[in-house]
A and B are shown apart, each in its own frame.
Chain A
Amino acid sequence: MKRTASAAFLLLFAFALLPARAQQQPASVPIQGTVYSLKTKPASLDLLTGVGMALRLMHITTPPSARIESVGAAAPLSALKRGDIVRVQCHWSGKELVADRIEKVVVR
């Protein structure tokens, strides 16, 4: 799927910029964007990101091990909704982006 391919390319590109020693560990990449859609089975979210007017959707799977925080407290994925701004710490599994931590960002 194109959006997955795009996300993969972005992450691989970021990964390629890392020093060789760092590449021995799975790259952990922070992505901040707007929740575009949420799925519970299998758990995943599509995140709206981009640079300037060039906007992209990134598909990120959210395994049960992913820690989700909303206003400083642990929360289920269902606590998030479309339009929320989140900061996602994720890594590339080799075939998809996987969330390690999702934090809802409060905009002031």
Chain B
Amino acid sequence: MRRAPVTSWLLVVLLAGGCARPTHPGDPISGLSAGQLDRFRRGRAVFDSVFTPESGLGPLFNAAACGECHENPVSGGNGDEVEVHATAFHADGICDPLAGEGGPVIQQDATPALKAALGIDREPLPKDATGRGLRTSPVVFGRGLLDAVPDSVLLSYADPDDRNHDGISGRPNRFVDGRIGRFGRKAFVPTLAEFNAGAFVIEQGVTDPAVPTEELVGGAPIPAGVDPTPEPEIDQKAVDLTTDFLRFLALPSPVSMARGAGQGRGLFAGIGCARCHLPTLRTGKNPIRALDRRTFSAYTDLLLHDMGPDLADICLGLASPSEFRTEPLVGLRFAKHFLHDGRAATVEQAIALHGGEGSRSRDRFKALSARERTAVVAFLKSL
């Protein structure tokens, strides 16, 4: 089944639109215990902590704080930063993330000590890379809800062989150990906790108990004396608090819809966008009451879809260069650039750049009247 139940979708809209207190960006999800709220607040403090070389930053890094890239309009929002990923896609279909050459994330900054030692101000691109991809920093609101959706739900939406002949053939990605992935633009990482633990290392160069080794510098070891801070540079308690901040960070309520946006919501579904950008998902049984069996606005199926050759960049896991995870659209109103690499300046451009499995809906969007297209965009900007 590809379509979310209409009744549950309407329920979410009603709850978000008027029956419940609006949730603002940066708010915790409702229904947390006092202890969970305390962890949310303390986790946000770690998220906003600015690291220095003395406290573990680098030697290679993209930013000095989580909050540096996720700051607009509040902690957990998006950012202006664009990072670089590189991998190698081989003829036999196998993707090499170039872990032995410093990939797949190629850090764009270096500490003064590393600059002095190697004369570089960023990590070099791996020599074996066949693809290079740019990645904007998305909002991370509601990621705890996405984390709590059972794998079985994702698999129920998958249709890798397009057996229903709708031109859409979503499939899950797999992590290196075979588990189903869902986080990241290629849906590579299985859980929020792992994405977060890995992010401390690849984004800030801050090692943690789960990843107690620094990134390679283009495949070469870090020169002696450049990174004097003993590993791990942050403890598990701090990592777990940060994960709980993200886990408990709510989806902001949609803003009041502009004129025509209600019609735009219907058109969004009518032209087929909602076949991949599923309006709602439902969490499974969860020990955290606020995450337990909740239907929420998702606008994603967390699956990979072929978006055509024009958007293709890197492979990752099972994802070919042209396959991307359906982007969750909640928080789109905060974006200044669109698509995974920010190449689109407007929502309309982003839709126009949909290829592959998105072609049919793109063409239907183009065929709408100007007023109808405006309505669809108004709806998207309400999210």
A33–B177 CB distance below 8 A: yes
Q: Is A67 an interface residue (CB 8 A)?
A: no
Count residues on chain A whose CB falls below 8 Å from chain B CBs: 27
Known A2-B216, A9-B231, A54-B211: A49·B198 in contact at CB below 8 Å = no
Count residues on chain B whose CB falls below 8 Å from chain A CBs: 34
Query: Which of chain B's residues have a CB closer than 8 A to the CB of A9?
Result: 212-213, 231
- Which of B100, B195, B216 has the largest count of A CB atoms less than 10 A from its CB? B100
B178–A85 CB distance below 8 A: yes
A50–B216 CB distance below 8 A: no
**Which chain A residues (27-72) contact chain B, with CB distance < 8 Å?**
32-34, 36, 46, 48-57
B202 CB contact (under 8 Å) in A3, A5, A54: A54
Q: How far is the CA of A107 from the CA of B171 in the complex (A)?
A: 14
Q: How far is the CB of B304 from chain A (nearest CB, A)?
A: 15
Q: How far is the CA of A5 from the CA of B174 in the complex (A)?
A: 27
A48–B189 CB distance below 8 A: no
Q: How far is the CA of A52 from the CA of B65 in the complex (A)?
A: 18
Known A2-B220, A13-B212, A51-B210: A56·B178 in contact at CB below 8 Å = no
A53–B188 CB distance below 8 A: yes
Q: How far is the CB of B313 from chain A (nearest CB, A)?
A: 15
The 8 A CB mask of B179-199 against A (1 = contact, 0 = none) is: 000011000110000111111
Q: How far is the CB of B58 from chain A (nearest CB, A)?
A: 14
| Nearest chain B residue, comparing its CB with the CB of A50 | B176
Interface contacts (Cβ under 8 Å), in number, total: 84
Query: Which of chain B's residues have a CB closer than 8 A to the CB of A6?
Result: 213
Query: Which of chain B's residues have a CB closer than 8 A to the CB of A5?
Result: 213, 221
| Nearest chain A residue, comparing its CB with the CB of B101 | A57
Query: Which of chain B's residues have a CB closer than 8 A to the CB of A83?
Result: 94
Q: Is A10 an interface residue (CB 8 A)?
A: yes
**Which chain B residues (96-115) contact chain A, with CB distance < 8 Å?**
96-97, 99-100, 103-105
Query: Which of chain A's residues have a CB closer than 8 A to the CB of B105?
Result: 53
Query: Which of chain B's residues have a CB closer than 8 A to the CB of A52?
Result: 183, 189, 194-199, 202, 211
B97 CB contact (under 8 Å) in A55, A82, A105: A55
B177–A49 CB distance below 8 A: yes
B178–A107 CB distance below 8 A: yes
Other A-B pairs beyond A32-B177, A49-B177, A85-B177, 4, CB < 8 Å: A9-B212, A51-B210, A54-B199, A55-B104
B residues contacting A by CB (< 8 A) are 94, 96-97, 99-100, 103-105, 174, 176-178, 183-184, 188-189, 194-199, 201-202, 209-213, 215-216, 220-221, 231
